[in-house]
């Protein structure tokens, strides 16, 4: 079923994109829990992560790996955390979040409101780190 994320994939809704290939897209969460909070989605329109075909499920983590490695040095943290929730948007997505402590993963905390300049700054940092890692 088409979701707001399918509109981002199609370019109908803008997003601060971080990485893309034929099967996956990574972009900044619009209401981040921390600077660097990135969503990684399969382009396939499947609601629940564990309903994805096995090959997509496996490739999803591999696609996310360099993004997590880019987040860690750019947004000083204990580590990059990974979470799959999906209670808001019915299109499988993985949250990559720089963690300070267990509270960093508390989705009921107030979200950050970033200006477009701040989003661009986060995007530029991550794109630069990804480019340098090639
Ligand atoms: P979940 O479904 O895992 O509970 O949360 C969905 C996430 O998607 C939330 O963190 C929310 O901020 C993010 N989100 C919802 N709509 C949009 C959107 O249009 N653009 C972007 N970049 N993120 C979105």
For 83, list phi and psi in degrees, rounded to 5.
Answer: -145, 140
Looking at the whole model, is its pTM more than 0.95? Answer: yes
What CATH number is given for 4-132 in this structure? 3.30.428.10
For 127, the enclosing helix (H) or strand (E) is helix 116-132
Asked about 95 being catalytic, the answer comes back as: no
CB–CB of 84/95 below 8 Å? yes
- Closest ligand 1 atom to Cα of 28: 22
Ligand 1 binding residues, C-beta < 6 A:
4, 13, 15, 27-31, 39, 85-89, 93
| pLDDT per residue rounded down to tens, the chain (134 residues) | 679 999 999 999 999 999 999 999 999 999 999 999 999 999 999 999 999 999 999 999 999 999 999 999 999 999 999 999 999 999 999 999 999 999 999 999 999 999 999 999 999 999 999 999 98
Q: Whose C-alpha lies nearest to ligand 1, atom 18? A: 30
């Amino acid at each position: 079923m088409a979701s707001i994320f399918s509109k981002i994939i199609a370019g109908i809704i803008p997003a601060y994109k971080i990485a893309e290939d034929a099967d996956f897209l990574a972009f900044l969460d619009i209401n981040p829990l921390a600077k660097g909070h990135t969503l990684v989605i399969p382009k396939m329109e499947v609601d629940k992560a564990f309903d994805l075909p096995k090959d997509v499920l496996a490739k999803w983590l591999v696609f996310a790996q360099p993004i997590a490695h880019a987040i860690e040095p750019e947004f000083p943290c204990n580590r990059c955390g990974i979470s799959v929730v999906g209670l808001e948007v019915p299109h499988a997505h993985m949250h990559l979040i720089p963690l300070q402590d267990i509270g960093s993963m508390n989705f009921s905390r107030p979200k950050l409101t970033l200006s477009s300049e701040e989003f661009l700054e986060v995007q530029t940092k991550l794109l630069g780190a990804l480019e340098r890692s090639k």
